[in-house]
Amino acid sequence: MTTVDTLAAAGEAAEAAPAAAPCERGATVWLTGLPSAGKTTLAFALAERLRAEGHKVEVLDGDEIREFLSKGLGFSREDRHTNVTRIGFVAEKLAANGVKVLAPVIAPYADSRAAVRERHAARGTEFLEIHVATPVELCSERDVKGLYAKQAAGEISGLTGVDDPYEAPTAPELRLQTEGRTVAESAAELHTFLTERGLA
């Protein structure tokens, strides 16, 4: 067999090779949104469904990261950026090894999210930005951690979306409207989206 024949055969084999099964494909699914938008609840609901289908899944919860990976960081713009890029670093490492990484992290600044996206792109790892687009009024009503009440009472300041900026994504892979919908309905929409991308 000539060199040309060998190369041709290799090319045909590559074309014939099946694409990685959805369970084997890693990706980072970054859920950004205001405090109490429902990011973490949605991430855990989706994780449960994906695991039941045989996927390897990790949820990088922003609060847990703050406690264990970013302990000592404050909430200045610089510290928030450092926190987000640290999470992005861990997410990319996991996703590159076939894990579906769900990152329910506010990540209020567009440049921080862009830095995470660029890191993934440079390494050929899939990154999907999901905007959990819950209105601030509804987030304030939910107020899961009591942050909106504390801000209103003057006990805290720098609350994202109230007296600190939140730069909503202009072109996310998916903008998820949660108002008037159950967690199961929102999780189902996100699962359908991943299925369409060949990830579920």
What would the pLDDT profile of 124-168 be if each residue is shown by its tens digit?
999 999 999 999 999 999 999 999 999 999 999 999 999 999 999
| Residue 160 DSSP code | B
Classify the phi-psi angles of 17: left when phi > 0, otherwise alpha if psi is within -120 to 50, otherwise beta: beta
Measure the CA–CA gap between 91 and 102, rounded to whole angstroms. Answer: 8
What would the pLDDT profile of 17-52 be if each residue is shown by its tens digit?
456 788 899 999 999 999 999 999 999 999 999 999
**Residue position matching structure tokens 């930005």:** 129
Taking every pair of Cα atoms in the chain, the longest distance, rounded to a whole number of angstroms, is 80
Tell me what percent of the chain is helix, strand and coil, each rounded to the nearest 5. 50, 10, 40
Is the C-alpha dihedral spanning 156, 162, 109, 184 positive or negative?
positive
What would the pLDDT profile of 160-191 be if each residue is shown by its tens digit?
999 999 999 999 999 999 999 999 999 999 99
Angle at 99 between CA 31 and CA 127, to 5 degrees: 45
Checking if the pLDDT of 9 tops 70, the result is no
* Domains defined along the chain, listed by start: 23-196 (3.40.50.300)
| Residue 144 DSSP code | T
Q: Which pTM does this prediction carry?
A: 0.88
